[in-house]
Amino acid sequence: MSNHNHHNHREHAGENLALAAQQALEASGERWTDMRATVFSILASMTKPASAYDVADLVSQKRGKRAAPNSVYRILDLFVENNLASRVECANAYIANPHPDCQHDCIFMICDGCGSVTHIDDDSLSGGLRDVASKAGFANIRPVIEVRGHCGNCN
C-alpha cells in the first residue's frame, strides 16, 4: 500500500463494483474465474460482514452444489490481499471494498447492537501506526483498526 492519498477515490456499486474488482484482480496478474466472480458477487451483496462459512453456504445455494469453505477462505484471502475485500478481524468476517482501485487503510466502526460495520478512511491514525511499525523494522504494514460501540440507530 504505497499510496495512501485516497481523497479522490470513487466508490463503486453493483455491476460497476464487480467490474472494478475484476479489473483490479486481473491487473495484479490473477484470473477472474467464475467461482471468484460468484464469491465476490455474494460478498458485495451482503449488508453486514459475512464469515467464510456464510459465503460458502450462499455460493453452494447459488451454484447448486456444495462449495468447500476452505476454497472460499482462499478466495477471500486473495481478495483481501488484492484490496477487493477487507477482513473485520474481531468478527472473523469479510466485507467487499467499495473502491478496489484505491489502496488505503480502513477504520471499522462495529456496532455491538446490530452488527453493522461503518468503513471510514482516515490515514491520520493509520499513518502514525505505519510510521511506528516502520521504525520498529516492520515491512508490508497493514494496520487493522476496529472500534466497537453502538451506532446511532442502536444508541
3-state secondary structure of 1: coil
Cα distance between residue 52 and residue 95, in whole Å: 11
CA distance 49 to 109: 12
pLDDT in tens, 45-91: 998 899 999 999 999 999 999 999 899 999 999 999 998 999 998 88
Task: Convert the pLDDT of each residue in 12-57 to its tens digit.
Answer: 555 788 999 999 999 999 999 999 999 999 999 998 899 999 999 9
Question: How much is the pTM?
Answer: 0.79
Radius of gyration of the chain (CA): 16
Find, among 114, 107, 93, the residue nearest to 43 by Cα: 93
